[in-house]
Copies of this chain bind each other. A is one copy, B any other.
């Protein structure tokens, strides 16, 4: 390694529409997410069938996020970008999200979305990247707003992320989530407009 260079890993996140062949990978993450019973409304014992039926529901757009590990890289002082030292070595499935109308008929102009991130990829900005992608997709599909119906209040990193992406808490449901450790905790309804 050149003197003064910093060792890096070059990771590239790709978000694309889900295919049937993604079902196993989605189920792995989904199961991991609900197993702890502290952030998601689904029962920790939700079956693969139920989970995938929900994730690929007829009215639903399903997306997946993959991380390509391009290889080690060196950052050379005085150069702006890192230079990869290798070819694509590994593709890892790191998350998925769904986007759908929150209500039928006369409420269908408001979208709803749900996100899952693999444990191994937490804290890397995957949730934020999917959130931004999701807002852009929702606009493209003509939705006028986005609503999260069930953000567990103790899931502070999620609440904070959605606030950073422009969502406001528009409602508080007292004790509406049965937290595996904390008992009944409040749930937020969060909302943001997609039109000016």
Q: How many copies altogether?
A: 2
How many A residues are at the interface, by size bracket? 35 or more
A52 to chain B, nearest CB (A): 14
- Mask, A117-157, CB within 8 Å of B = 1, is 00000000000000000000000000011010110000000
Is residue A175 contacting chain B, with contact meaning CB distance below 8 A? yes
Whether B41 contacts A106 by the Cβ 8 Å rule is yes
CA distance A110 to B187 in the complex (A): 12
A78 to chain B, nearest CB (A): 50
A82-110 residues at the B interface, CB under 8 angstroms? 102-110
CA distance A171 to B144 in the complex (A): 19
Is residue A163 contacting chain B, with contact meaning CB distance below 8 A? no
- Mask, A58-96, CB within 8 Å of B = 1, is 000000000000000000000000000000000000000
Whether A189 contacts B176 by the Cβ 8 Å rule is no
Q: List 8 A-B contacts (CB under 8 A).
A: A37-B106, A41-B103, A41-B106, A43-B108, A102-B176, A110-B173, A144-B175, A145-B176
Identify the 6 closest CB pairs spanning chains A and B, nearest first: A171-B171, A43-B105, A41-B107, A106-B178, A171-B189, A42-B105
Given A34-B105, A107-B150, 4 more A-B residue pairs with CB atoms under 8 Å apart are: A41-B104, A107-B177, A107-B187, A171-B172
